[in-house]
Amino acid sequence: MSHFTRTRGAMAPIALGIASAALLAASSMATLTYAQTTSHPKPAAARAATSMRPGSVDERIAELHRELKITPAQDQAWQSVAEAMKSNAQDMQNLIDETRTQSPRERRNALEDLQIYQKFAQAHVDGLQKLTAAFAVLYNGMTPEQKANADKVFRNFERRRPSGRS
C-alpha cells in the first residue's frame, strides 16, 4: 500500500503497522491469486501485497502473537484481532472467487476492470476498519512496554518489506 507509506507522517505509527502488517498479510495470498488472473498491470496496493513473503494468515497471526508478547490476560482481545485477520482473508478470497466466476478477464472492458479494482480497494478499506477496531482494544489494554514493543514491531515490519520506506 504505497499510499499508506507516502502518507506515513500523517498517520499514527500503529495504524500504519496495522495496515501494513496485518491486513496485507491477511490478504496477500488472495491478492496474489487475483493479480495472476488479470491481464493489466497490478495497482500499487496489489504490488505491495504480493511483494511480501508468502505465508498463511495463521502463520502471520502466530508470528504477531509472539512478536507482540501477548499475555494470557490479553488473549480475548487478541482473538478479536486474529478473527478480523481471518475474516478479511476470507472476504478477499470470496471476492476473488466471485470475480473469476462472474467476470472472466477476457470478457471485461476497461470500465469493468476499474469497477473490480474499486471493489478490491473497498474490501481493503472495510477490512482495515474491522482490524483497526479490534486492534485498538488490544493496544489500549497493553502495558506501556508492550505498546513500545508493538510500535517497534510495526516500524521494523515496514523496513523489512521490500516496498517499505524508512
* For the chain, domain boundaries: 14-160
| Nearest alpha carbon to residue 61 among 161, 134, 155, 140 | 134
pLDDT at residue 158 in the model: 58
- State the CB neighbour count (10 A cutoff) for residue 82: 22
Q: Which amino acid is at 135?
A: F
Q: How many residues does the chain have?
A: 166
| Nearest alpha carbon to residue 29 among 8, 6, 46, 11 | 46
| Nearest alpha carbon to residue 39 among 115, 122, 110, 118 | 110
Rounded to an integer, what is the distance from CA 75 to the centroid of its chain?
21
Q: How far is CA 95 from CA 42, 98, 125, in A?
A: 16, 5, 14
* Cβ atoms of 16 and 4 closer than 8 Å: yes
pLDDT at residue 24 in the model: 44
pLDDT in 10s for each residue of the chain, 166 residues: 444 444 444 444 444 444 444 444 444 444 444 444 444 454 333 333 333 334 688 888 999 999 999 999 999 999 999 999 999 999 999 999 999 988 888 888 999 999 999 999 999 999 999 999 999 999 999 999 999 999 999 887 655 555 545 4
pLDDT at residue 107 in the model: 86
pLDDT at residue 74 in the model: 97
